[in-house]
Amino acid sequence: MGAWWWVRRALWALAWTLGLFALGLWGLRQAGWGPGQDEAVQATQPAPTQAGAAGPADQPPQPASLTTVSPSSPQATAAVQAPQAPRPLLTPPAPSGAAEAPAASPTASSPAALAPLNAVRRRAGTAPVTLQAAWAPGCAAHARYLVREDRAEHRQDPKSPYRSAAGEACAPGHYFVSSQPDSGAGRAVSYWASGAFHLPQLLDPRLNRVALGVAHDQGGALRTAVVLDVRRGLGRAAGRYPVRYPAPGATAPGGRAAAGEWPDPTAGCAELSGAPGAPVALLLGPGGAAVRSAGLWVNARPQPACLLTAQTFRGASDGETRAGRQILAAQGTAVLLPRAPLPPGARVKVQFNTVRGPVSWTFRVR
């Protein structure tokens, strides 16, 4: 290789170096690092303004003139009025964005609303109950709480905006909740009357006053709630026992036992394999004779049935066992659950064998 080759290589290297240097300068200017660039940027920034100052276009509107009166001046009494006391809320406030508050049924506070309950009591031979109007708003309040909170319970959450003292007072009574918007007191009473642990309170001969509340809500999973106060209306009289349901010679509907009853009456019943029939009950009164066994005959033929008593009932848990036995013991109640619903038109004989002797009677199925 001659000297000319080395000269040419040196010229190419110099050209590449100058090109890269020029390219670097161009990039710096584009990024704002070139000489004089700071002055150009500062020239485009708006001049700072003093705090509180505003140009003609930004002038805020002037407030209207205000006249203030010192409370200690003679004009204070006329110019400063005392704030009015807030009106009491008739219904709990609805949460922000919630639908309109559900209205209580206008018929729940009328004596006619008790017709289904008194029909059940008539089938047992017990006296009708009357409506205690003063308690009805509390039962309506608890019904409203149930549909608004989508809950089924005998209490109210203290943190709920629908909690009320009146609602709490009625909460321990019977409740019925449904996803059907057209449910009402009649359907609720039918459900309670077919439940082994709800029926005894409906039949209590000491009960003389009740209160009923109904609420509907189209916005939640629970559309209807019915609440019945069967606790505060117990009279001081001992009550006429025994109570038999259905009463001797009565005609009563058949049908199935209530589904979803708590405690579960079928948990300890080996005699039951499917949906049992509606309950047949004997109430001997508090401290009544214990029932040891029972039998059921339909059209003179023996039928399997499960006997529930305060001494023998076993629930699905220890808690259910205690609750069920307590309910049954409160009125010395014994309940028979037929293996299957009693057929329409059937003649039914039932016999409960107590430690003091048998108690038997017959009735018909509608």
Is 70 exceeded by the pLDDT of residue 106? Answer: no
Instruction: Compute the mean pLDDT over every residue in the chain, rounded to the nearest whole number.
Output: 80
Is 80 exceeded by the pLDDT of residue 244? Answer: yes
Residue 281, φ and ψ in degrees, nearest 5: -130, 150
Contact between 216 and 181 under an 8 Å Cβ cutoff? The reply is yes
Say yes or no: domain 103-236 is CATH 3.40.50.360: no
The whole-number average pLDDT for the span 287-310 is: 97
pLDDT score for 238: 81
pLDDT score for 52: 30
Q: Which CATH number fits domain 241-365: 3.40.5.50, 2.60.40.1220, 3.30.43.10, 2.60.40.150?
A: 2.60.40.1220
The whole-number average pLDDT for the span 123-139 is: 96
Is 70 exceeded by the pLDDT of residue 169? Answer: yes
Is 60 exceeded by the pLDDT of residue 23? Answer: no
What is the DSSP secondary structure assignment for residue 317, as one 8-state letter? S
pLDDT score for 237: 83
Burial class (CB in 10 A: 0-12, 13-18, 19+), 313: buried
Both tokens of 114, joined, read 């008790």
Confidence of residue 339 (pLDDT cuts 50, 70, 90): very high
pLDDT score for 111: 77
pLDDT score for 110: 75
Burial class (CB in 10 A: 0-12, 13-18, 19+), 88: exposed
Tens of pLDDT, residue by residue over 70-104, are: 233 333 323 323 333 332 223 333 333 333 444 44
pLDDT score for 2: 60
pLDDT score for 40: 34
Instruction: Give 63 or 144, the one with higher predicted confidence.
Output: 144
Of 93-102, 119-128, 320-329, minimum mean pLDDT range: 93-102
Going from N- to C-terminal start, the domains of the chain cover: 103-236, 241-365
Residues 6 or more apart in contact with residue 273 via CB below 8 angstroms? 339
